Chains A and B, each alone.
Chain A
Amino acid sequence: MLLVGDSMTREIVTLAPDETVGTALALCRERRIRHLPVLSEGRLVGIVSDRDLRSATPAFGEPERAAALQKVLVEDVMADDVISALPDDPIEQAANTMRERRIGCLPVVESGELVGIITASDVMKALVYLVGANEPGSRMEVAVPDRPGSLAGAAGVFGMCGINIVSVAMGPTREPEEEGSVRERIVVFRVDTIDTSEAVRYLEEAGYSVLWPPKA
């Protein structure tokens, strides 16, 4: 779960270095994609984005545009220092690379061969599945002490109430509300119930602070 290979797009539209920018832009439009890997003899040699293509050609309405679309080649505008990912890279690593290098996608390469492409929207989709936001549920935020057993204790309350947990995300530590008490973490649960009141009551009786839903 949560590997690049699970979330990447496998049907890839590619270009050859000697195709024209006009062809490339038409492909972007038709297939509604923004990134095209460039292959030469089956090997990944570059990548172009629709932005690279547009900035390499005169704007709409410029008389030189039509000629440029036919003349400028993909290899003239592509980035050839391609940063790629492996199918078994964790998705958070791919996300971090995209964020740090400010790029919108990573071609996925295995044994020298292009096997897929992972884009920012694939990462978002994985996030949606991860937090269970595609299934009905109520979102609850619970602050738990940063100590062994706290998450199990909070989760156990849902089990006791017969409420299924759809997803759990636990954040980094933060300073506690009350000075002098242990640092805490916020846990976001999505639980399969419309009525969280019983779970809230038991969580609070067990000493956890429920940050959402708010008190009436």
Chain B
Amino acid sequence: MSGRAAIVHDLALEDYGFGGDHPFDPLRVRLALELCETLGLLEDYAFVSSGPATDEDLTTVHSLTYVRMVQKAGGGSSPLSDLLDYGLGTPDNPVFPGIHEACARVVGGVLAASRLVMAGEADHAMCISGGLHHAMRSRASGFCVYNDAGVAISRLKEEHPGIRIAYVDTDAHHGDGVQWMFYSDPDVLTVSMHESGRYLFPGSGGIQERGRHDGVGYSVNVPLEPFTDDESWISCFEAIVPEVLRAFDPDLILSQNGCDGHALDPLTHLSATTRFYEHVPRRVHDLAHELCRGRWVATGGGGYDIWRVVPRAWTALWAAVSHQELPEIVPEDWLSKWSEKSPVGLPPLVRDAPEDYPPRARAAKIAERNLRTAEEVVDTVLPGLQ
């Protein structure tokens, strides 16, 4: 099973970043796409460009007051105390010139990818700059100003009445913004697997967050133990995601592919490797074919080891989206171009070597706890969906 793929990108999407030492660095997008290109994975694919999301697009999920505040902030005329009420001007979400335009472009990219897929012009589409899942209705949060998935889902719901969308989020952080936007909506299933909120931002995403009113059962959360490895994460993913997606029977799958659950990521405490980041998109791809004629939109997300992890994880994502073999070796051209700028040694292979990530002493205990979580999720969620 394979489908036609599209990649939505242009240079303007790389303007979304906070500058300086901020961990959210758009260079990671450049590194990932150049790795794809050097590996020959973009040969048959031209970048599809897209415009910025309009104010009308943004206000499907954001308040107009907030959008105006972001616009004003980017022009540099807002006092800090006004910004702070909207989560802006903090160390996480500092204001930069053109912040509105840059983020509206990201939203526009994901929106364009979603429309390509719904129009049948592509079966799968990727916009790697997307995945800003923490942005709230009236508040920037966790490096996210506007919520691209939220806007895309809302617009698709308007354009295709009755559509059912499954959102699958494997970022290390809970996909709180998207979850809360569709918390009462039984036509939007949100599934988030993340490091437990007890240990990691944003703190939410417990099993008991299952939706509200008509949406009860349509928010699925799988909080994982710190130091969860590939083996355990993949077993939980397999125990839950295929079954809940089959029970929900979506018309489109939107996946958020943050890769900050990698063992090397500086912001989280999970212990995945490229094995996980190769596995997940392949499975989502197969589920899209099984359940919704291949309709799948993939975005990026978190990922803060921009040198060793993000380029390879997102190359694996694009390989799955475009149904190409994932090559084994990181090309010399890419390595020589970037190794001087990288503060860390760059891995020569596309896949992590398992021997570099030996199981942790507590791995069995961690896996056991995660398994119990997965069982509880399956027991409490599935009956509601069937």
Residues of chain A at the chain B interface (Cβ within 8 Å): 133-139, 161-164, 190, 192-195, 197-198, 212-214, 216
- Within 8 Å by CB of A214, from B84, B90, B198, B226, lies B226
Task: Flag if B199 contacts A212 (CB, 8 Å).
Answer: yes
Do B201 and A138 have beta carbons less than 8 Å apart?
Answer: yes
Whether B203 lies near A137 (C-beta < 8 A) is yes
Within the complex, which residue of A133, A198, A212, A213 is in contact with B203, where a contact is CB–CB below 8 Å? A133
Bitwise interface map of B from 184 to 213 toward A, beta carbon under 8 Å scored 1, else 0? 000000000000011111111000000000
Interface string of B135-163 (1 = CB under 8 A from A): 01000011100000000000000000000
Give Cα A1 to B200, complex, Å: 28
Contact between B266 and A216, CB atoms less than 8 A apart: yes
Q: Is the interface of B mostly helix, strand, loop or mixed?
A: loop
B-chain residues with CB within 8 Å of residue A195 when the two chains form the complex: 23, 91-92, 267
Nearest chain-A residue to B142 (Cβ)? A194
**Chain B residue nearest in CB terms to A161:** B91
A212 nearest in chain B by CB position: B199
Closest beta carbon of chain B to A141's beta carbon, Å: 10
Specify the main secondary structure of chain A where it touches its partner: loop
Q: Complex: how many Å from CA A65 to CA B89?
A: 66
Tell me if B134 and A136 are in contact (CB < 8 A).
yes
CA distance A136 to B92 in the complex (A): 12
**Chain A residues, Cβ within 8 Å of B202:** 136-138, 194
* Cross-chain pairs A/B with CB under 8 angstroms, 14 sampled: A133-B204, A136-B134, A136-B136, A136-B141, A136-B203, A136-B204, A137-B201, A137-B202, A137-B203, A138-B202, A163-B91, A195-B267, A213-B199, A214-B269
Interface: B176 (CB within 8 A) = yes
Q: Give the distance in Å from the alpha carbon of A162 to the alpha carbon of B90 in the complex.
A: 6
Bound-state Cα–Cα, A41 to B364, Å: 62
Extra 5 A-B pairs, beta carbons < 8 Å, given A192-B92, A194-B143: A133-B197, A138-B202, A139-B197, A194-B142, A216-B266
Which of A135, A194, A213 has the most CB atoms of chain B within a 10 A radius of its CB? Answer: A194
Do A164 and B90 form a contact, CB below 8 Å, given A136-B204, A194-B202, A214-B226? Answer: yes
Q: Whole-angstrom distance between the alpha carbons of A163 and B142 in the complex?
A: 12
Q: How far is the CA of A195 from the CA of B304 in the complex (A)?
A: 10
Identify which of A134, A138, A190, A198 contacts B91 (C-beta below 8 A): A198
B9 surroundings in chain A (CB, below 8 A): none
Neighbouring A residues of B142 by C-beta, 8 Å:
136, 194
Given A136-B141, A213-B269, A214-B226, residue A194 in contact with residue B92 (CB < 8 A): yes
- Rounded to whole Å, the gap between the CB of A157 and the closest CB of chain B is 12
Contacts of A190 in B (CB 8 A): 203
Q: Which residue of B lies closest to A132 (CB)?
A: B203
Q: Which of B80-115 contact A (CB under 8 A)?
A: 84, 87, 90-92
Separation of A138 and B204 alpha carbons in the complex (Å):
10
- Would A194 and B134 be within 8 Å (CB), given that A164-B90, A213-B269, A214-B269 are in contact? yes
B62 interface residue (CB < 8 Å to A): no
Provide the residues of chain A in CB contact with B173, threshold 8 Å: 194
Most buried by B among A162, A195, A198, A214: A195
Answer whether A193 and B269 are a contact pair too, CB < 8 Å, given A136-B203, A137-B201, A138-B203: no
B226 touches A193 (CB 8 A): no
Chain B residue numbers with a CB within 8 Å of A162 are: 90-91
A196 vs chain B, min Cβ distance (A): 8
Residue of A nearest to B22 (CB): A195
